[in-house]
Amino acid sequence: MARDATLLFESSEWNFATLSRAYDAIKEIAVGELGLDIYPNQIEVISSEQMLDAYSSIGMPLMYQHWSFGKRFAFESHLYRKGMRGLAYELVINSNPCITYLMEENTMPMQALVTAHAAFGHNHFFKNNYLFRQWTDAGAILGYMDFAKKYIAKCEERYGLAAVEGILDSAHALMDQGVFHYRRPPRLSPAKVTERARERLEYEEQAYSDLWRTLPATAGAADVEEAEQEAMERRKALHLPEENLLYFLEKNSLILEPWQREILRIVRVIAQYFYPQGQTKVMNEGCATFVHYTIINRLFDKGQISEGAMLELLASHANVVFQPSFNDPRFSGLNPYALGFAMMQDIERICMAPTAEDRDWFPDIAGNGDAMRTLIDAWENHRDESFILQYLSPALIRRFRLFHLSDRATDRFCEVASIHDERGYSAVRSALARSYDPGAHRPDIQVVDVDLLGDRRLRLQHWVKNGILLGEGERDATLGHIRRLWGYDLSLTGIDASSGAVLYECSSTDSGVVRSAS
């Protein structure tokens, strides 16, 4: 093979010409041969400090300022400097155009690998997976973040750092409870959002009249009836129960100023934007890893990268998909890259060279001869939970030697429920799938009632699943934050989801003290 004539790059040093040449060659394979469908790419080269920066602002290129990001930056850079953690080679943002950050320290072969991984693998996944399509608006997110950053900076100017920090602290505490899990979120258009915020403020300023303050407080029997009617209507309008606490507080808290509501909304929108990422970690990384692996192999076959570069890439790839055993000191859970990549390869194998067992388990796809189409279809229509439930094969369970462990906090032992044998495959598979369902692990806390007529006490319920309670210190502190946003007393009741028994009750009151009673 006339390798040298067509090599994309010779040395490990990169420059923009080689980056561009490699990109074009990769694109030819990714789009031409694999049939990936991508957003236009924007590739940015950054330094390690900028990578740390991006880490600490949860990967967004634009972010408002808050001390917690400073803390995260300090934490990450500490680990990095101590050599306890390497930095990612890349970072990719689900936006249109799709922004990929490449680290300047990467060698040229690594830049090629990373381009294939992020700019094509992740990019395709972002554009096509149903969760991302449904829950995020890639075209508008950068504009929205720009709006959010400026809006919060303006609020800081206008209302003071401390006031804004307080609201952000409280909003961050409820970020996990600020997501719609079932209802489709409204699309964002930053221009419209800004306009609405401005209108809100303007209306507020116009409608304000000092005269209202001087009206005597109304009291009387007739009024009570009227007020009750009003409260009934209002309660109905509250759409209780509501699991999106941030949304509820934004819309219904009686003490928040318009700008404070807008800040809650910003935090909520960001939480919503990241909602699909948590549910597709295995698939997303599996897809990207499979894509880069396939592409670099193709490049090598076509003689476009040298053997030396290929060795470097394979070593790096092997590191990424390394899965230590549970009893290995390096073990820290299942590696999503390893599991995802193995599953993608396994699907390819089932499509191309199925065994009798595969034909039993996967009659639909076994031996269909079109692995790429099968994979693209899977990437489009699944999240981790359904993907594993659908595609984890017995062969892979055996290869990973997966076993299912049942762990009751009150027992002094864990019990092995099933292993990689004929009886265990289904059980292991569904247990693994369930563990990737965030809905099954996220504390289920809902607003169930507000007595607007009386003490305006906000009643929250925690549906306790499998007896898993909340960490008490954090729970109480978080309740304090809700109280700050709500302005009146509130209570939280823990109810066992299966039996309906009340497990605990606690409340956050005026004095700021949280009393708990189990």
Partner 1 sequence: MPNFIDRRLNPKDRSLGNRQRFIRRVHDELKRSISDRVKSDRIADVDTAHGVPVPKRGADEPSFRNASTSGERQHVLPGNESFSAGDRIGKPETGGGQGVGRGPGRGEGEDDFLFVLSRDEVLDLFFEDLELPDMVKLNLKETVTYKPHRVGFTTSGTPSNINVGRTMRNSFGRRIALHRPNSKEHQELAGEIAALEGEENLSQMQRRRLAALREEIEALERKRRRIAYVDPVDVRFNRFERQPLPNANAVMFCLMDVSASMGEREKDLAKRFFVLLHLFLKRRYERIDIVFIRHTDEAREVDEETFFFSKQSGGTIVSTALEEMQRIILDRYPSNLWNIYAAQASDGDNATGDSERCAQLLRDALMKLCQYYAYVEIIDERESEIFGATDNGTALWRAYRAVESRIANFQMTRIARPADIYPVFRKLFARHKAAQPGR
Contacts to partner 1 from residues 418-457, by CB under 8 A: 418-421, 423-424, 428, 431-432, 434-435, 441, 443, 445
**Among residues 32 and 473, whose Cβ is nearest to partner 1?**
473
| Alpha-carbon gap, residue 314 to 311, rounded angstroms | 5
d(CA 391, CA 365): 10
Q: Buried b / exposed e across 147-173, counting CB within 10 Å, b at 16+?
A: bbbebbeebbeeeeeebbebbbebbbb
Query: Given candidates 9, 14, 29, 66, which one binds partner 1 under the rule CB under 8 A?
Result: 66
C-alpha distances in Å from residue 452, one per residue of 76, 96, 242: 45, 44, 16
Residues 145-184 that bind partner 1 (CB under 8 A): 161, 165, 169, 172-177
Whole-number Å distance between alpha carbons of 284 and 171:
28
In terms of C-beta density within 10 A (0-12 exposed, 13-18 middle, 19 or more buried), how is residue 190 classed?
A: middle
Site for partner 1 in 75-104 (CB under 8 A): 75, 77-79, 81, 97, 101, 104
Q: Which amino acid is at 121?
A: G
| Subset of residues 226 to 245 that bind partner 1, contact rule: CB under 8 A | none
Cα 88 to the center of its chain, rounded Å? 17
Q: Does 357 bind partner 1 (CB under 8 A)?
A: no
Interacting residues with partner 1 between 102 and 121 (CB under 8 A): 104, 119
If the CB atoms of residues 368 and 516 are measured against partner 1, the closer one turns out to be 516
Closest to partner 1 by CB, 351 vs 464, is 464
Contact 171, 246 (CB under 8 A): yes
Do 282 and 340 meet the contact criterion of CB atoms below 8 Å apart?
yes
CA dihedral sign, ordered 198, 201, 204, 209: negative
Residues of this chain, 371-400, that bind partner 1 according to CB under 8 A: 400
The SS3 call for residue 446 is strand
In the complex with partner 1, which residue's Cβ is closer, 369 or 512?
A: 512
- Closer of 356 and 468 to partner 1 (Cβ): 468
What part of residues 288-327 is at the interface with partner 1 (CB under 8 A)? Answer: 323-327
Closest separation in Å from C-beta 332 to partner 1: 4
Radius of gyration for the alpha carbons in the chain, expressed in angstroms and rounded: 27
Which residues, other chains included, contact 276 with Cβ-Cβ below 8 Å and sequence gap of 6+?
A: 129, 131, 132, 134, 135, 136, 383
Site for partner 1 in 37-56 (CB under 8 A): 40-47, 49-50, 52-53, 56
* Contact yes or no for 250/188 (Cβ under 8 A): no
| Strands, sheet with 458-464, edge to edge from the N-terminal-most edge strand | 444-450, 458-464, 490-496, 502-508, 514-517
Give the integer Cα–Cα distance in Å for 336 and 342. 10
- Binding to partner 1 (CB under 8 A): which residues in 495-514? none
| Span near partner 1 by CB under 8 A; candidates 200-208, 218-226, 246-254, 410-418 | 410-418
Strands 98-103 and 41-46: parallel
Judged by CB under 8 A, which of 8, 14, 57, 252 binds partner 1? 57
If one asks whether residue 69 binds partner 1 (CB under 8 A), the answer comes out as yes
> Is 31 one of the binding residues for partner 1 (CB under 8 A)?
no
Q: Torsion angle of alpha carbons 4, 9, 12, 16, nearest 10°?
A: 170
- Least distance from C-beta 312 to partner 1, angstroms? 22
- Determine the Cα–Cα distance for residues 183 and 193; give it in Å rounded to an integer: 20
Q: Please report how close the Cβ of residue 414 comes to partner 1 at its closest, in angstroms.
A: 5
> What minimum distance in Å lies between the beta carbon of 335 and partner 1?
9
CB of 104 to partner 1, least distance (A): 6
Nearest residue (CB) to partner 1, 208 versus 331: 331
Give 296 or 396: the residue with its C-beta nearer to partner 1. 396
Instruction: Kindly state the smallest distance separating residue 504's Cβ from partner 1, in Å.
Output: 11
Site for partner 1 in 462-481 (CB under 8 A): 462, 464-475, 477-478, 481
Look at strands 458-464 and 514-517 and give their pairing.
Answer: unpaired
Q: How far is the CB of 379 from partner 1 (least distance, A)?
A: 22
Binding partner 1 (rule: CB under 8 A), the pick from 19, 371, 375, 376 is 19
Rounded to whole angstroms, the Cα distance separating 63 from 57 reads: 6
- Please, what is the minimum distance in Å from the beta carbon of residue 463 to partner 1? 12
Smallest distance from partner 1 to CB 230, Å: 32
- Minimum CB separation from partner 1 for residue 55, in Å? 10
- Measured from the CB atom, is 35 or 70 closer to partner 1? 70
Q: Tell me the number of residues near partner 1 by CB under 8 A.
A: 103
Q: For partner 1, give the closer residue by CB, 205 or 411.
A: 411
